[in-house]
Amino acid sequence: MLIHQGQISRYIVFVAKGMLRQYYFKNGKEVTEHFSYEGCILMCIESLLKQEPTRLVAEALEPATVYLLPYDRLLKLSEDIREINIFYRKVLEFSLITSQIKADSWRFETARERYNLLMKTHPEVIKRAPLSHIASYLLMTPETLSRVRSGSL
């Protein structure tokens, strides 16, 4: 486990190799919130910014190489180096936009549309993540995901 529930997040995780999954528990079941793979970042943004315990868990789905950027170091560097400040702002903007796109997808799109969007924007997830995790990420049961994939829904 990279991040444990109840832990205060102190790092931004850069994925050099492998795939990570971030999830939480709802009614005793795991719900996948995010996948990260080569070239992506992973962070528990609320815990990171507020320095409070996270409700999220992050784990590697396959052997992974990651780089950890200490958040306090990033803040200090962003005060002193303009380019780092711009980088930090871009990371936060990307996280906000990604969260909004995902929330809109959950609210307004059908199961098939959510799956097609994931397939279009993150084909690596479709290829590499277990179907049960993909289903929970898309807020559907594994049975619904199976019907979507077979074209019967």
Ordered per-residue pLDDT tens for the chain, 153 residues: 789 999 999 999 999 999 999 999 999 999 999 999 999 999 999 999 999 999 999 999 999 999 999 999 999 999 999 999 999 999 999 999 999 999 999 899 999 999 999 999 999 999 999 999 999 999 999 999 999 999 876
Would you say 139 and 30 are in contact if contact means Cβ atoms under 8 Å apart?
A: no
Residue 121 is assigned to a structural domain of this protein = no
Residue 139 is assigned to a structural domain of this protein = no
Q: Domain with 59 in it: what CATH number?
A: 2.60.120.10
Residue 77 is assigned to a structural domain of this protein = yes
Would you say 61 and 45 are in contact if contact means Cβ atoms under 8 Å apart?
A: no
For residue 21, give its domain range.
11-108
What CA–CA distance (Å, rounded) separates 81 from 78? 5
Q: What is the pTM of this model?
A: 0.90
Residue 61 is assigned to a structural domain of this protein = yes
Residue 148 is assigned to a structural domain of this protein = no
Return the axis-axis angle of helices 82-108 and 111-121, rounded to nearest 10°.
Answer: 150
Per-residue DSSP letter, 53 = B
Alpha helices (H) along 18-138: 45-50, 71-80, 82-108, 111-121, 123-128, 131-137
What CA–CA distance (Å, rounded) separates 112 from 149? 8
Residue 127 is assigned to a structural domain of this protein = no
Query: Which tokens is 5 given?
Result: 């529930």
Residue 124 is assigned to a structural domain of this protein = no
What's the number of domains the chain is made of?
1
Residue 125 is assigned to a structural domain of this protein = no
Residues in the chain: 153
